[in-house]
A and B are shown apart, each in its own frame.
Chain A
């Protein structure tokens, strides 16, 4: 088991992106700004309802990117925790992705507007609860010690503190390793990965409760954090596959990442599609079966005429289709097959976030119209998501241009390069 592979010649070619990514960084930033501006303009010019739609839309895009970032952070720590070697060649992509956490913190700031405007635009508990159902008001009063603006902001700060410091620490160790052949930085990463995962898990689940679950403050589900975690992992896997493909199309990492690594990423994607289905079904089935009004309302909001087809799309599009599609090893090893399913999974992850966030806007359980109004999906959602993703990609590309795209002196790099699927 101790066979030591040597690093073949040419293995360190194409690991420095340099100027190759600056075009992407610039263009995506432009597209991003344009998209965001378009979205904001649509909201601004459309009146109060459209402005509210804009904030929900913004939260969808933000949650989409945040989950990808969390997935990348978890992926990195997991690889260290178990001492995996197959993933060394692609780990840097995850590391560069998670380095976007400061950007994500910055992107959170606009959400302070709907939080602090006193109307509960996004999070109903943050507004003055005038009138309405007295039971609901009593419930909000009960939750007030937790769901209040200062404490919420404090928690958000703590979550971002955790994410940013973990991401920075692990990226630093990895970059340190690039400069030395002593394994110390990797050893340290391994040592601290398990405690890191614990802190991360708490930040993730409470972050999910705060940002997404409390959009409907009356609703609660203990599994919700795990559900968001499953989505994060899918989002990150798909994102990493796409990044790797894109870099290879730019003649980067061509000698390093091969079908074996893609195959394993495909397996991860497949496995977590199943896991997501398992968690999603568990949550739905238990709520459906017990049929308690305080829980079913969340699903009832999502089977209104406006959302019913989206919900069915979640079942088939997010689970059945990718599950059946990725079952075969030929698909996971095929260039086009895996690329297609990575794009598809990333799209479905966005749909998932949309489905979690958006129905709260006109939810019957929150005093909205009984039929859930009409489905709000439109140009603004696309524009805002394109906007935020553009900024995210630009930041990623800027950083990727500065650092090697491979942990060039990782002690397990040679094993990873020689990795072969059984």
Chain B
């Protein structure tokens, strides 16, 4: 289904002066739907044609400021709010370190909007243009200057316009006919486009599914070299050493770091085979405070904040009726209260029944601090009004 219609009158000029003068004449003639086509931007032609200043800079300014806002928000939200972590002692929200990316995103957004905004305002890409069917128009990108008045112009009168161009000394003047072809897409292409669009929806669909479902299998590791590293684990065998062990014994006459027992009472809680009854280190408020902190970190999970044995682990074990669970003693039981500090220290260090030893996790001083706090905790549960200093008694309700 093809038909043809007149597109407009096309004239060509050989010089810059010619096109500028012609453009002035066309503008004076009051035509509105017309344009010049030149191989390079001709200085002064905008003025001759009366082209209005583009609004592109405003678009760019807007997008640039959005880029800046995005950069500020992104860095603040990700590093200071959603996933706060301290890096090289810098504040979570450290503006000097955020400036480079603020700058980059401002420029990036501005540049993208300049590029795409320009094509959008020019309504390009448009791979078809009626003038492309004119063989001589090919010189518009080489060395000829064209001017075209479209037939859609309300003041369009082909003979008058031709006369006007000829009066301006046009090299060629011709009336351009445009062939109108069916612009619908062929069914095959249409089908392919729909199919492609459908396929493109698949990955996001999988993402959505993954978000709302749980998986029983561990995730796929394409490169498993960090999951399965060639290394020896503790207590493993090794053919490298004569004794067949991967682990090495300490060399005779050496003490491993942190394993020196310089002070028997302090490091073991024993003195001469007896549990110590006095704290083998100075007791002060700092130690007490430290003990409270450590106790709340290490002990409360099972023993509970109050020491009654009602920690979260115990609660959950009761709930699921674990057959292996031995409930922790209340730390306020008489058997515990009667234990000397040395014994408590020993228990923390080596463990008892189901409780593991904590010597690896908690340094010696911190274990004593916990013992100290525990003693205080026990006092707090068995104390009487007389224990409270006089001036504070009336604050107790």
Contacts and interface: CB of A to CB of B under 8 A. Distances in A.
Direct chain A–B contact by Cβ atoms under 8 Å: yes
Interface of A: 281, 284-285, 288-289, 291
Nearest to B61: A327
B96 A289 contact: yes
Contacts of B90: 289
A176 to B, nearest CB: 36
B138 to A, nearest CB: 29
Interface of B: 88-90, 96-97, 99
A284 B96 contact: yes
A298 to B, nearest CB: 15
A284 B97 CA distance: 11
A421 B90 CA distance: 47
A196 B89 CA distance: 46
B89 A289 contact: no
Contacts of A289: 88, 90, 96-97
B97 A281 contact: no
A285 B89 contact: no
A281 B88 CA distance: 20
B99 to A, nearest CB: 7
A288 B97 CA distance: 9
Given A285-B96, A289-B90, A289-B97, 10 more contacts: A281-B96, A281-B99, A284-B96, A285-B97, A285-B99, A288-B96, A289-B88, A289-B96, A291-B88, A291-B89
A291 B91 CA distance: 13
A152 B89 CA distance: 40
A291 B96 CA distance: 13
Nearest to A290: B88
The 10 A-B pairs at the shortest CB distance, nearest first, are namely: A285-B96, A288-B96, A281-B99, A289-B97, A284-B96, A291-B89, A285-B99, A289-B96, A285-B97, A289-B90
B205 to A, nearest CB: 44
A152 B96 CA distance: 36
A329 to B, nearest CB: 9
Contacts of A285: 96-97, 99
13 contacts: A281-B96, A281-B99, A284-B96, A285-B96, A285-B97, A285-B99, A288-B96, A289-B88, A289-B90, A289-B96, A289-B97, A291-B88, A291-B89
A323 to B, nearest CB: 12
A289 B97 CA distance: 8
Contacts of B96: 281, 284-285, 288-289
Contacts of A288: 96
Contacts of A284: 96
Nearest to A420: B43
B129 to A, nearest CB: 29
A291 B97 CA distance: 13
A288 B90 CA distance: 9
A284 B99 CA distance: 12
A319 to B, nearest CB: 11
Most chain A CB atoms below 10 A, which of B89, B90, B96, B99: B96
A28 B216 CA distance: 88
A360 B324 CA distance: 72
Contacts of B99: 281, 285
B44 to A, nearest CB: 11
Contacts of B97: 285, 289
A48 B172 CA distance: 90
A403 to B, nearest CB: 37
A143 B277 CA distance: 62
A342 B88 CA distance: 41
B100 to A, nearest CB: 8
Contacts of B88: 289, 291
A289 B99 CA distance: 12
Nearest to B90: A289
Contacts of A281: 96, 99
A288 B95 CA distance: 11
B280 to A, nearest CB: 40
Nearest to B43: A422
B164 to A, nearest CB: 30
A207 B252 CA distance: 66
A253 B41 CA distance: 34
A285 B99 CA distance: 9
Nearest to A291: B89
Nearest to B97: A289
A289 B90 CA distance: 8
Contacts of B89: 291
A284 B95 CA distance: 12
B42 to A, nearest CB: 13
B110 to A, nearest CB: 12
B18 to A, nearest CB: 19
A419 to B, nearest CB: 14
B108 to A, nearest CB: 18
Nearest to A329: B57
A285 B97 CA distance: 7
A129 B265 CA distance: 54
Contacts of A291: 88-89
Nearest to A422: B43
B38 to A, nearest CB: 17
Nearest to A288: B96
Nearest to B100: A285
A385 B99 CA distance: 35
A281 B98 CA distance: 12
A291 B90 CA distance: 10
Nearest to A286: B96
